[in-house]
Structures are given as C-alpha cells and as structure tokens.
Amino acid sequence: MTTDFDAVEAAARERVGVRLFTVLAWDDGRGALNRVHSSHPVEYPMGGEKTFSREAPWIRRVVVEQQPYLGRDRAAVAAVFGDHELIASLGCGAVVNVPVIDGGRVLGVAEGAYDEGSVAAALPLAELAVEPLRRWHTEHQAPGSQAVRP
C-alpha cells in the first residue's frame, strides 16, 4: 500500500517541507488510527495504531469536525501525542494533521510538520490520499463499520 502514498509524500515534501510524513486510516468503530504509510518505517512502521476517544480534543477537531490541526511547537505536540519524544528526535518541533475526507466521511489523517502556511499548503494534499485510503478501507474495514460522518 505504501507505493500508493508515495506521490502524496513527495508532494508534501515539495509543498510543505515535511520531515516526518505518515498517513493514518481512521477506524471509527474502534476509535483507532492505523498507520498505512510512513516516511520513517523503522520508527513508525506500517500497521502501527494509535487509539483515541472520540471526545479527545485532537480527534474531535480532525476527525469529528474535519478541521486541520496545527501544533505550533513541541509543547503542542506533547499535549496530543504520547510519542512526542520520538517525534522530536526526528527533528520535528511542530505538526500539521489534515483530515482526508471522501463524500463527507473522514477516511484518515495525513500528518506532517510545520506552521500556519503549511496548513494551507497541506490541505490540497489530502485529496491525493482519498483514493488509496478508500481502497484501504475497502480491503480492511470490518463489515458495518464506517468512517465518521459530520
């Protein structure tokens, strides 16, 4: 599946300047984000999961409200991600998370790092991830489970 996201990662590197880039597929039934692409597969291997309550502020913003998240500094990253020390060790001091939306459903989240201008540059990149994430959901999601609808 990673090769389907290579073009998205290349565009993110060119337009946003990301150091760490991952794509996480959202499983609403389990409240889990499943890593389906990683620019750093040793530190962030495919298949890794992050689970969250739908009430968690970060999930509420990105998945439920379908809005990008900008963590402007290391403190903001630490407030959201338990693995903030690993993120910092890769040279990342800020994060941008963009929801990947298809027909009003959040299929997943693309993560990169940076500033307010990065959010604007990253938003169009989410469209590039729709088709590969749609395929991932078709192949992996449990029957009856679906992505979040607003």
- CA–CA distance from 87 to each of 29, 51, 66, 84 (Å)? 27, 17, 23, 5
User: CATH number of 2-140: 3.30.750.200, 3.30.450.40, 3.40.109.10, 2.60.40.10?
Assistant: 3.30.450.40
Please report which confidence band the pLDDT of residue 122 belongs to, taking 50, 70 and 90 as the band edges. Answer: confident
Residue type, 148: V
Please report which confidence band the pLDDT of residue 141 belongs to, taking 50, 70 and 90 as the band edges. Answer: low
